[in-house]
Amino acid sequence: ASSLQEIIKASSYIGRDDEFANDIDWNNLGFGLTPTDYMYIMKCGRDDEFKQGQLNRYGNIELSPSAGVLNYGQGLFEGTKAYRGEDKRLFLFRPQQNAIRMQIGAQRMCMPSPSTEQFVDALKKTVLANRRWIPPPGKGSLYVRPLLIGSGPILGLAPASEYTFLVFASPVGNYFKDGTAPLNLYVEDEFHRSTRGGAGDVKSITNYAPVLKSLSRARNRGFSDVLYLDSVHKRYIEEVSSCNVFILKRNVLSTPATNGTILEGITRNSIIEIARDLAFQVEERPIPVEELLDADEVFCTGTAVGIAPVGSITYKGNRIEYKTSNQLVCLRLYSRLVGIQRGIIEDKMGWMIEI
């Protein structure tokens, strides 16, 4: 009940007359952090049960210097987006899929995790409390970032004794700094993102800092992002630092199979379903890097990224260019997805959860 009162307090703070935050330029949202009003926090002690969480004002959190997450990287994150429909209703895109992925990741990282119901409830409360930060239709979305961290103190290597589930949100627009311009990818031939038997298939925080070196190096050379190859054969494409990858050849759409080294993106899975619905043949399989040479289209998918067409790929000093136009198949798939997310196209799959 106290949580419900929090929500009522939060929505009266927002006020129906003041539906949008006014200290923000909705036409120029990138992917920078804009702090919002509230975050949700729920804790779990030694009994491995998450108890009732609550909304707090957004701000710094207190952690022991010996927290498991700070010392041994015991942490997971998720990402989903909330949208404003044309009719003022508010929606989250497939949050149950994030809940399930966090539960699978938590098993891998020896952490307890919130139930799907607790997870979705926390996301709804966070979005509702921050609703004035959800961009107007067509201007962007409210990116919702759930975290699960080992917050209990620890010294020897072991799972932490306490866990914190936290959800915060930020309004966002395009992920890449050049907006919707086609990406120029660099194929990394020194570092790998993930190894067999590692944790590349879960959204562990430990998968992200190790790619920063490749990413910064590539960005300094003018590339948008990095495409990684598998670590065994150094031949099969895996994923990009912040998103999955697809290639199209005639009517066949292919994406690397999730064999333990690739993150099973929710946008990836949604695009597979949309493409099959539109009569494309979809294959999840190992894709040798040479196949990039004669692909008709290459594109990236992710929650933060959406769908981003690839304009060029550079591998061992050779640059392959792809045609770009507004007739690309990937843009057709994307407009289907965006149409569902904005409530313009019928949501036959039941992906949108009204808040």
Catalytic residues: 203
- Residue closer to ligand COI by CB (options 162, 225) is 225
Q: What's the min distance (Å) between Cβ of 77 and ligand COI?
A: 7
> What is the C-alpha R_g of the chain?
20
User: How far is CA 206 from its chain centroid?
Assistant: 15
CA dihedral 335, 340, 342, 346 (to 10 degrees): 120
Q: How far is the CB of 242 from ligand COI (least distance, A)?
A: 4
> Looking at 59-67, 84-92, 191-199, 299-307, which segment touches ligand COI (CB under 6 A)?
299-307
Q: What mask, x for binding ligand COI by CB under 6 A, covers residues 259 to 298?
A: ----------------------------------------
Stretch that binds ligand COI, among 133-141, 245-253, 277-285, 300-308 (CB under 6 A): 300-308
SS (H, E, C) the chain: CHHHHHHHHHHHHHCCCCCCCCCCCHHHCCCCCCCCCEEEEEEECCCCCECCCEEEECCCCCCCCCEHHHHHCCEEECCEEEEECCCCCEEEECHHHHHHHHHHHHHHCCCCCCCHHHHHHHHHHHHHHCHHHCCCCCCCEEEEEEEEEECCECCCCCCCCCEEEEEEEEEECCCCCCCCCCEEEEECCCCCCCCCCCCCCCCEHHHCHHHHHHHHHHHHCCCCEEEEECCCCCCEEEEECCEEEEEEECCEEEECCCCCCCCCCHHHHHHHHHHHHCCCEEEECCCEHHHHHHCCEEEEEECCCEEEEEEEEEECCEEEECCCCCCCHHHHHHHHHHHHHCCCCCCCCCCEEEC
Give the residue closest to ligand COI by C-beta.
79
Say if CB 95 and CB 82 are below 8 A apart. Answer: no
Work out which of 79, 105, 146, 171 binds ligand COI, going by CB under 6 A.
Answer: 79
Q: Does 302 bind ligand COI (CB under 6 A)?
A: yes
Provide the minimum distance between the beta carbon of 94 and ligand COI in the complex, in angstroms, as a whole number.
Answer: 12
What character string, x for contact with ligand COI (CB under 6 A) and - otherwise, covers 31-70? ----------------------------------------
130 near ligand COI, rule: CB under 6 A: no
Kindly determine how many residues on this chain lie close enough to bind ligand COI according to the rule CB under 6 A.
6
Q: Which is nearer to ligand COI, 10 or 305 (CB)?
A: 305
Under the criterion CB under 6 A, does residue 303 sit at the interface with ligand COI? Answer: yes
Shortest distance, CB of residue 319 to ligand COI, whole angstroms?
Answer: 25
306 binds ligand COI (CB under 6 A): no
Q: Does 146 bind ligand COI (CB under 6 A)?
A: no
Interface region with ligand COI, contact rule CB under 6 A, candidates 90-98, 120-128, 223-231, 301-309: 301-309
Please tell me the distance from the alpha carbon of residue 11 to that of residue 31, in angstroms, as a whole number: 25
- Shortest Cβ distance from residue 31 to ligand COI (Å)? 7
String marking each residue 226-255 x if it binds ligand COI according to CB under 6 A: ----------------x-------------
- Binding test (CB under 6 A) with ligand COI, winner from 304, 312, 314, 347: 304
Give residues 106-125 in contact with ligand COI (rule: CB under 6 A): none
Q: Which CB, 120 or 154, lies closer to ligand COI?
A: 120
C-alpha 187/C-alpha 40 separation (Å) is 38
**Which residues are at the interface with ligand COI (CB under 6 A)?**
79, 242, 302-305
